[in-house]
């Protein structure tokens, strides 16, 4: 009470501002925790060396494109993930005898799930079961080696839960 007998009015603004600041602190703390817990999987240690590798890959892709070579991939869902069948084809669609085929699975939205898998020879191509631990979008990068050249292809795959 004031000296003149009227009640003192309480202002809500100091409490509202303090509450907003506390809420902002909680949100920032949550974002910090998320950034520490789930690091960025796209960062490379040596950007210059990574750039040189990209240039080499682009040159190799230009050579194989000029030869007409391409990768044919078929993916069939199975309980463990997907069964992939890969064939290397020439410009006329005939199978080329690849020396080896490696498939790299990449989860674009989440780090820690990328892995390479060497496929086994099967007939005129290669096949294997590629484990996909989570449903959602995956990228499959195929590398096939033939006559000292690497043929590369990228595929997108959506896996239902």
Q: Do 82 and 154 sit in the same domain of this protein? A: yes
Question: How many other CB atoms are there within 10 angstroms of residue 95's CB atom?
Answer: 13
Q: What is the pLDDT of residues 50-101, one digit of tens each?
A: 889 889 888 888 888 888 888 888 988 888 888 999 998 888 888 888 889 9
The answer as to whether 79 is a domain residue is yes
The answer as to whether 5 is a domain residue is no
Q: Do 78 and 142 sit in the same domain of this protein? A: yes
Q: Could you identify the residue written with the tokens 């997907």? A: 82
Euclidean distance between CA atoms 101 and 146, whole angstroms: 9
The answer as to whether 53 is a domain residue is yes
Q: Do 149 and 96 sit in the same domain of this protein? A: yes
Q: Do 32 and 51 sit in the same domain of this protein? A: no
42 pLDDT band, cuts 50/70/90, is: low
Query: 108 vs 18, which has greater pLDDT?
Result: 18
Q: Do 26 and 61 sit in the same domain of this protein? A: no
Beta strand segments in 13-148, E:
70-78, 81-89, 95-96, 100-106, 115-118, 120-122, 125-131, 136-146
The answer as to whether 2 is a domain residue is no
Q: Do 73 and 151 sit in the same domain of this protein? A: yes
The answer as to whether 4 is a domain residue is no
45 pLDDT band, cuts 50/70/90, is: confident
Range of the domain at 90: 47-159
The answer as to whether 1 is a domain residue is no
**CA dihedral sign, ordered 130, 134, 140, 143:** negative
pLDDT value at residue 43: 66
């Amino acid at each position: 009470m004031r000296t003149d007998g009227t009640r003192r009015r309480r202002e809500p603004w100091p409490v509202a501002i303090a509450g907003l600041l506390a809420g902002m602190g909680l949100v920032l703390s949550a974002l910090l925790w998320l950034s520490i817990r789930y690091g960025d999987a796209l960062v490379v240690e040596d950007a210059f060396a990574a750039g040189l590798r990209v240039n080499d890959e682009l040159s190799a892709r230009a050579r194989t494109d000029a030869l007409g070579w391409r990768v044919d991939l078929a993916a069939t869902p199975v309980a463990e993930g997907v069964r992939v069948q890969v064939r290397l084809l020439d410009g006329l669609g005939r199978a080329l005898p690849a020396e080896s085929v490696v498939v790299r699975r990449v989860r674009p939205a989440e780090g820690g799930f990328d892995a390479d898998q060497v496929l086994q020879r099967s007939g005129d191509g290669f096949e294997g079961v590629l484990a996909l631990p989570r449903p959602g979008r995956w990228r499959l990068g195929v590398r096939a080696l033939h006559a000292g050249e690497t043929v590369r292809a990228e595929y997108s795959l959506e896996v239902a839960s």
